[in-house]
């Protein structure tokens, strides 16, 4: 209820809702939330570890590589993209090194997260829905 007035302003505006939905920052948050939900759903089917700890696929790796996928569409600066990839790889490596996930689980999470981000961002850019 803290942001109730702001939410009313969003939904009362006649034509601004589609504009707000098409901002890259908003889409990025939605992609990360969707990635987390999909990871938890997949983990419940594998029944190895818990939905929030361990198991297939790695949620940390999925979020890390989804973030890298988002960064690829946010900037054309190769240095920033390389830094995003490096950070995603560090997250994945830390999960294996800590013994929380196997390489296969981290790889599956990375592919899943990157593909979710890439498909959504690519589709929105292709249909010219997404802008800064």
65: in domain: yes
16: in domain: no
1: in domain: no
* CA pair distance 36, 33, nearest whole angstrom: 5
10: in domain: no
116: in domain: yes
The pTM for the full model equals: 0.79
The residues of the chain scoring below 70 in pLDDT are: 1-22, 49-52, 54, 131-132
Nearest to 68 by CA among 40, 99, 123, 31: 31
* CA pair distance 85, 13, nearest whole angstrom: 39
Q: How many domains does the chain have?
A: 1
Q: What is the pLDDT of residues 78-89, one digit of tens each?
A: 999 999 999 999
DSSP for 26-57, please give it.
HHHHHHHHHHHHHHHHHHHHH-SSBTTBSSSS
Which range of residues forms the domain containing residue 90? 22-126
């Amino acid at each position: 209820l803290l942001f109730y007035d702001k939410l009313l302003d969003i939904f009362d505006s006649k034509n601004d809702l589609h504009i707000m939905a098409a901002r890259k920052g908003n889409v990025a948050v939605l992609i990360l939330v969707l990635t987390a939900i999909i990871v938890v759903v997949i983990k419940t089917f594998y029944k190895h570890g818990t939905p929030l700890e361990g198991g297939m696929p790695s949620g940390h790796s999925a979020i890390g590589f989804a973030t890298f996928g988002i960064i690829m569409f946010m900037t054309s600066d190769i240095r920033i993209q390389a830094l995003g990839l490096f950070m995603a790889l560090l997250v994945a490596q830390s999960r294996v090194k800590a013994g929380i996930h196997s390489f296969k689980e981290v790889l599956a999470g990375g592919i899943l997260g990157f593909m979710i981000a890439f498909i959504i961002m690519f589709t929105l850019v292709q249909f010219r829905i997404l802008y800064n």
